[in-house]
Structure 1
Amino acid sequence: MSSRDETAVALARAATALDGALLGVGLAICAASSWFKYLSTSHALRRIRLAPSPSISDLRAVVDTGDHTGAGETGGERLVVIRGQVQPRSVAAVASGIFTGGKGAGALVSQGSGEKAVIVQQTQTCLYNEWRGILGWSFDLHALFAKAWKEQRTTSFRSVPFVLVEGTHWSNSGYVNVNLDGCTHALPLTTVYHQLHPVQATPYTLFQAILGNGYPVALLDEEKILPVGKEITAVGICRGENGSLEIKQCEDMPCFLSEKTRDKIESDLAATATTLFWSGIILGTVSVGILGYAIYKNWGRLRDWRERRKRERELRHQALESPTRSFSDDDSGEVSDGELCVVCLMRRRRSAFVPCGHLVCCPPCALTVERDLSPKCPVCRQTIRSSIRIYGS
């Protein structure tokens, strides 16, 4: 059996320990997590549905007036959903309020495609092999630290201030500044360059291959951009800043900038909320059933264990009160081989097991068998509940 199979078997045994109690607890945790995500997703969906979706030219009137309700909304700030075209912001445009530089003025240029963009993200990833080596050793440090060693990645991020506009002339349509400070949401970047460069093998590479250690085989270069002129949807808190409008991320929202339209965002959130709702119900029901079964089985075992302890104390008490009926007195005299206890082979068979009914043990050995965690008859291996002392006439 391989190491992965042994790990899977160990995890399966741990999950089914105590009649599935650990598995039930794990499913309960998953159900609670699903419900927590469902509540947060439903809250975000409700806020997006209540948020206004004005045109950029009418955005100031919506922000300065209206009923500001909801978490993170105060006077002069409001959660809005707007859609516009990405354009870079230059110092002259901010000062004059007129788009005078032409489309793409002041933007970055992609090295891979030559396109103009406001955000350029370049990533280089070192890819390692998956071979274990000629010796077939299963121990590999690169496999243990896959994310830290297996894919060594360097990333460079460049951006210029940009805005969302409705048309080519800001003076006619208006604009809103996009604030990316502290942004933790994924950005709608487009991959424009993707190339794999093989790594030349060295003598040290051959040594690594023989020992089974991972060695680099290629470098993956990627470039992603947010191109000028791309239509995106912004879901965030809008406020007036130094005479102009600015939109920033709302931490409670699942996204900030997205290629999807508002209807698509709402439908995706509704589908996610439905999936989380039913998964929470199913996982919760299954976990309750498993935990109930585990409690019932272990409560029965605890009850049987208490009964065995009680019978043991009663037998000891009887032995102390009537020494003439002790085990040694009952077994005195000649005992044939067919009547000897199958466990100790010294005393006469006096105790029959319930429910199988086999009379094969002396009373002390019968008590020893009953004390086991999983008591079984020495003859038929059937699980026993108790033993009965048999007296000859």
Structure 2
Amino acid sequence: DDGSDRVHVVGARGATGFALPVGSEAFEESGRSLVRGTLDYLQGLKMLGVKRIERVLPVGTSLTVVGEAAKDDVGTIRIQRPHKGPFYVSPKTIDQLIANLGKWARWYKYASMGLTVFGAYLIAKHAIRFILERRRRSELQRRVLAAAAAKKSGPNNDVEKADSLSDVAKRDHLMPDLCVICLEQEYNAVFVPCGHMCCCTACSSHLTNCPLCRRQIEKVVKTFRH
């Protein structure tokens, strides 16, 4: 359009996919002075010279340029990096560039699907953990209430209500000094600051709240019986 069949590409070196072949390489020895040699010796360096590499674009190379086209006041057409969007300078054809971008798009799609599945797994994991924790607390509260009811009722009432009590309550009634959680060890842990004692030290190490009053446990004190 400008009569010269030329298009100026601005910033081609910073474009994606643009690689120039090496045209020549040259090694130039650097002159060494006494001061420079002393400094290099103290720093543990040995400066031999400078290697210069020249990269050229062979004449007649076909390039595909994707960018923003603009025409200045003189009439020169320029293709430059757009404010938004990609900027490609590549020896590949436009079809090859589109196919390559499609391949990366598929990888991004698979990666996003994988991240979505992983996020759903984390959410489900936390939800299941929350449900199990609620169920464990409910079971713990049921045991504590059953143990409290068994201790509150007298020996005569216990015999009459033996059929209606749960297995846990029966065991707590027969062995009232057992831990209300494991029902195996004697309770010997006092919760601070509420002062309740209904669990053994092994079970109390897994608790954050008192099973009786639900108050937060700040400290567990082990007691000893004579």
TM-score of the two chains, using structure 2 as the length reference: 0.52
Other-structure match for 1:202 = 41
Whether 1:277 aligns to 2:109 is yes
* SS in structure 1 of the partner of residue 68 of structure 2: strand
Q: Structure 2: 5+ residue runs without aligned partners?
A: 29-36, 156-175, 189-196, 209-226
Other-structure match for 2:131 = 299
Q: What are the superposed Cα offsets for residues 297-346 of structure 1, whole Å, 9 maximum, x if unpaired?
A: 2332244246546866x589879x96x99xxxxxxxxxxxxxxxxxxxxx
Contact 2:22–2:56, Cα closer than 8 Å, also in 1: no
Whether 1:257 aligns to 2:89 is yes
Q: CA 1:362/1:300 → structure 2, altered by over 3 Å: closer, same or farther? A: same
Other-structure match for 1:225 = 55
How far apart are 1:374 and its partner, in Å? 7.3
Q: How far apart in 1 are the matches of 2:88 and 2:76? A: 20
Q: How far apart in 1 are the matches of 2:46 and 2:141? A: 65
Q: What are the superposed Cα offsets for residues 30-59 of structure 1, whole Å, 9 maximum, x if unpaired?
A: xxxxxxxxxxxxxxxxxxxxxxxxxxxxxx
Contact 2:180–2:198, Cα closer than 8 Å, also in 1: no
Amino acid aligned to 2:62: E
- Aligned residues, how many? 168
- What is the 5 A alignment of 1:1-393? 60=1, 170=4, 174-180=5-11, 185-186=15-16, 187-192=18-23, 202=41, 204-205=43-44, 221=51, 223=53, 225-227=55-57, 229=59, 230-242=61-73, 243-305=75-137, 308=140, 349-351=177-179, 353-354=181-182, 359-362=184-187, 364=197, 366=199, 369-373=202-206
Contact 1:190–1:226, Cα closer than 8 Å, also in 2: yes
Q: What are the superposed Cα offsets for residues 259-282 of structure 1, whole Å, 9 maximum, x if unpaired?
A: 222121111011111121122213
Q: CA 1:203/1:369 → structure 2, altered by over 3 Å: closer, same or farther? A: same
Amino acid aligned to 1:227: L
Shift >6 Å, 4+ stretches: 194-197, 215-220, 315-319
How far apart are 1:204 and its partner, in Å? 5.0
Q: CA 1:308/1:258 → structure 2, altered by over 3 Å: closer, same or farther? A: same
Q: What are the superposed Cα offsets for residues 369-391 of structure 1, whole Å, 9 maximum, x if unpaired?
A: 4443379xxxxxxxxxxxxxxxx
Q: Which has the higher strand share?
A: 1
* SS in structure 2 of the partner of residue 373 of structure 1: coil
How far apart are 1:188 and its partner, in Å? 2.8
Amino acid aligned to 1:350: L
Q: CA 1:302/1:349 → structure 2, altered by over 3 Å: closer, same or farther? A: same
* SS in structure 2 of the partner of residue 362 of structure 1: coil
Q: How far apart in 2 are the matches of 1:294 and 1:180? A: 50
Q: Which has the larger radius of gyration?
A: 2
How far apart are 1:189 and its partner, in Å? 2.8
Q: CA 1:245/1:237 → structure 2, altered by over 3 Å: closer, same or farther? A: same
Q: Structure 1: 5+ residue runs without aligned partners?
A: 1-59, 61-93, 98-169, 206-214, 326-347, 376-393
Q: Percent identical across equivalent pairs?
A: 14
Contact 2:63–2:89, Cα closer than 8 Å, also in 1: yes
Q: CA 1:244/1:362 → structure 2, altered by over 3 Å: closer, same or farther? A: closer
Q: How far apart in 2 are the matches of 1:266 and 1:359? A: 71
* SS in structure 2 of the partner of residue 231 of structure 1: coil
Alpha carbon RMSD of aligned pairs, Å?
4.6
Q: How far apart in 2 are the matches of 1:258 and 1:310? A: 72
Q: What are the superposed Cα offsets for residues 178-199 of structure 1, whole Å, 9 maximum, x if unpaired?
A: 2239x853443333456899xx
How far apart are 1:291 and its partner, in Å? 2.7
* SS in structure 1 of the partner of residue 69 of structure 2: strand
TM-score of the two chains, using structure 1 as the length reference: 0.33
Q: CA 1:222/1:289 → structure 2, altered by over 3 Å: closer, same or farther? A: farther
How far apart are 1:285 and its partner, in Å? 1.6
Q: How far apart in 2 are the matches of 1:284 and 1:263? A: 31
* SS in structure 1 of the partner of residue 15 of structure 2: coil
